[in-house]
Structures are given as structure tokens and as C-alpha cells.
Amino acid sequence: METVNFVVHPSEIITVNSHSEILRDTSVVVRDGKIESLLPTTEARALRDIAQVDLSDHVLMPGLINAHGHAAMTLLRGIADDMALSQWLNDKIWPLENKWVDQVFVMDGTEIAAAEMIMSGVTTASDQYFFPDIAAQVFQQAGLRAQLTFPIIDVETAWGRSGADYLEKGLALGDTYRDHDLVTVGFGPHSNYAVDEPLLERTATLAAELDAPVQIHLHETAHEVLSSVERIGERPIDQLARLGLLSPKTQCVHMTALGNQDIDTIADHGAHVVHCPKSNMKLASGLCPVSKLLDRGINVALGTDGAASNNRLNALNEMQAAALLAKIESGSPEALPAHKAIEMATINGAKALGIDHITGSLEVGKAADMIALSTRELAMLPGHNILSDVVYATSGNEVRWSWVAGHNILRDRRLQTLDTEAILRKAASWRVKLATG
């Protein structure tokens, strides 16, 4: 994609800058993929050497960051619902994956996921799945910014034979994308129950050497925590801390069943939490104490998890779910107000992924990762409070424009990088294949 320069004139801008500014009569000038300036619209309209994108009746905001997902699992959407995590994984998801996951599965599933995410405002996706090399290719084709945390697990899968094999393949992937503009690679040990201690230790050593991100499912359920105590005499978070696997580069996904000491441990190590409210609700996994974590100064980002346990990859939906669930969890309607939910899906996600110097807010010098939502949708009317409308009233269909590093990937709700008809054809053929079990 060629680099383009343009200026956008929205009706409002949610900046998510350090002052949480909402700007009116302001335009964003993009050059070489970066935000060059925010100018009064009258001044910006007078610029002669640059394309003008008129988006009155639109709110412009930072692109959303889906900090945890398994994109290719969109092919398993709806195939196994309404059961507990252990039964869901052991009886349904893992056997299906054993039978069907290969490069084509990952390519086709990731493509559906990328399209769905773009249509609902995601500009950065974190992904953890087999064949991350294929997922990386699809994300690049889609024009999304991506973090791939390659899977590390004790069992043999189509992608790897053993822990050593996963590490070798993952390190090679890291070499391929070293210093890449849009793709970063990190370590994805599945969990403390699916990765034995020597392999977790090796992961910690390599990740520290490379200063690479680590993303792990942690404290997803109270059962996971209790069985860890029975098995190794330690809570999962304590094992990670002891092994040197808990640092400002660590993204702990889920984090339910937390005591005050667990929260202190996360804070003391500067680790990040990725909250997946809809997946936690659907699998009845538990409640992440988001307000408590934020009050303690812990960075909390937002993830959809895979489509088999959500079943959407819609970051706007996820913000809404997070804001509502925080109120139930804490017993306070004041918990996680709209502006905090938006921060979780933008700047907090960027901090968790270690890319907040590049994206997560609309500020001069950052990449032009931006989305524009129509404010003429019925659910956005009459428009008293844009933050409230974005969090509590959207469905995802309001997202009409999207840019990543200045490249336009959604234009008036039409995908610019992916072929919707081809995606529909491939999905239909997988529906037939997977129906055989």
C-alpha cells in the first residue's frame, strides 16, 4: 500500500490523550502515515497540497486494540456453546482442532476474524494461535497492526511436536518480523496448566534475552487456581513471579479469582492484565476485579478472546460488556465509567502490547490508527454525550472508516483490503467440512 497524505474533518474527536480531551472544530492532518498536526478545521480546509476527507456527522477516535484473541477460531464459532471451560476445551475444541487445524484453516479463519474486527473498529489485534506465520501474513494483507504471541504448549499439534519445536519456530518468526512496522512477535505460553515448569522457565529466559512480550492465560477460573495449588503448591501468578515470567512485558489474560495478595504481585511486577468480559461471562469463568486493579495503578486492556467463546470479535461490544460487568462485580454503578472503558480498548491496550509510543491515542507524532463512527445512526441520537454513546449505545455497525498507519482499510463501511465474497465462499466450505465433526 502506498503512503498517502490527507486531512480528516470530523465533527468531534475523542483523543484519549493524557487530558482526555474531546475536540470540536478540529481536523487531523496525516502525512507519511503519522499524525502531523491537529488544526482548527477552518485552517485545515485551506490546506491546498493534501486530500480532504470530509466526515461531518462522524466522531473520530483512536483505532481499537483487541489485546487477546485466537483469530482462526472464528471457524469454530457456535460449534460448542453453553458448557464449562474444561469440558468445552477437552471434549469439543481441542479434538476439533486436532482434526482440522492446518495452514488453510488458519488462513481462512484469520481472514474472517480480520474482516469482522475491521468492521467493528479494531486496528490492532493480538493473536495467539497455531501457524502464527500464516496469521501474520493475513493480518498484513488486511492492513491491521498485530501482535503475534506464538503458542507454547506441552502437547503435539499440527504446528509443533514439542516445547523445543514451538520455541524454535517462534524464534524464527520473531527474526522474520524484527523491526517490522506493523507486526510484533512475542511468546504465548498457553497457561500454567498446559505448559510444564521447565518449559515456562525456558520461555522466561528467552523472553528476557529478547526483551519480547509474553502473553499467558492466567487465573481464568477459580478451579485453575485451586488445582495449581494442589499440583505445585502455588497459585499460578506466584509460579510466574518465581520463574521470572512476570514483568512489565507480561500480559496476563483473564485474571479472575484474585485476592489482595495476587493484586499486589501483579502491581509489584508491573505486569498488565487483559480483561475478556464476554468470554468470562459465557464460560462462567469468573469475575475480573477491574476497578480494583485500575485503582491499584495496574494497566488493564481489553480482549475479545476467540469467537468460539464470545462469540463476536467486536471491540465496541467488549467495551460495553466491560463497563456493565464492572458494575455488577463491584456492586457500584460508578465503576468503569465510559471514558475508562474507552481507555481500556485504546491506550491501555497499546501500553499492554508495548506500543503506546506508536498508537492508542490521537496525538501528534503517533501513527494514524484511527476510526470514524457515524453519529447519524439512530442509536447515537440525539447525541448528548459522545463517550456515553460510543460505549453504551453502539452495536459496531457505526464504524464507517478506518485507517492503520494512514492506510485506509475501511471506506464508508466497505472493506478495502479483503474480499468479502471470497470470505463468504471459504466460510461456507468450512461449515460443510466441520459439520462432519
Binding site for Zn ion (CB under 5 A): 305
Nearer to Zn ion, 254 or 366 (CB): 254
| Closest to 322 measured CA to CA, from 61, 66, 12 | 66
Residue recorded with cell 501513527:
367
Cα–Cα distances in angstroms (integers) from residue 355 to residues 90, 146, 352, 369, in the given order: 35, 11, 8, 12
Nearer to Zn ion, 275 or 426 (CB): 275
Residue nearest to Zn ion (CB): 305
Query: For residue 264, what is its C-alpha cell?
Result: 499486589
Nearer to Zn ion, 289 or 306 (CB): 306
Query: For residue 17, what is its C-alpha cell?
Result: 490523550
Q: How far is the CB of 217 from Zn ion (least distance, A)?
A: 5
Q: How far is the CB of 50 from Zn ion (least distance, A)?
A: 42
Q: How far is the CB of 262 from Zn ion (least distance, A)?
A: 19
Nearer to Zn ion, 283 or 338 (CB): 283
Measured between alpha carbons, how far apart are the two ends of the chain, in Å? 40
Nearer to Zn ion, 27 or 74 (CB): 74
Nearer to Zn ion, 133 or 305 (CB): 305
Q: Which residues pair with 401 in a beta bridge?
A: 372
Instruction: Give the 3-state secondary structure of residue 378.
Output: helix
Q: How far is the CB of 190 from Zn ion (least distance, A)?
A: 9
Q: Which residues pair with 218 in a beta bridge?
A: 254
Contacts of 87 (CB under 8 A, 6+ apart): none
Amino acid at 423: I
CB 142 within 8 A of CB 116: no
Q: How far is the CB of 220 from Zn ion (least distance, A)?
A: 8
Contacts of 126 (CB under 8 A, 6+ apart): 65, 66, 67, 68, 69, 146, 147, 148, 149, 215, 251, 274, 303, 353
Q: How far is the CB of 376 from Zn ion (least distance, A)?
A: 36
CA dist 397 and 141 (Å) reads 22
Q: How far is the CB of 22 from Zn ion (least distance, A)?
A: 33
Instruction: Give the 3-state secondary structure of residue 273.
Output: strand
Nearer to Zn ion, 64 or 216 (CB): 216
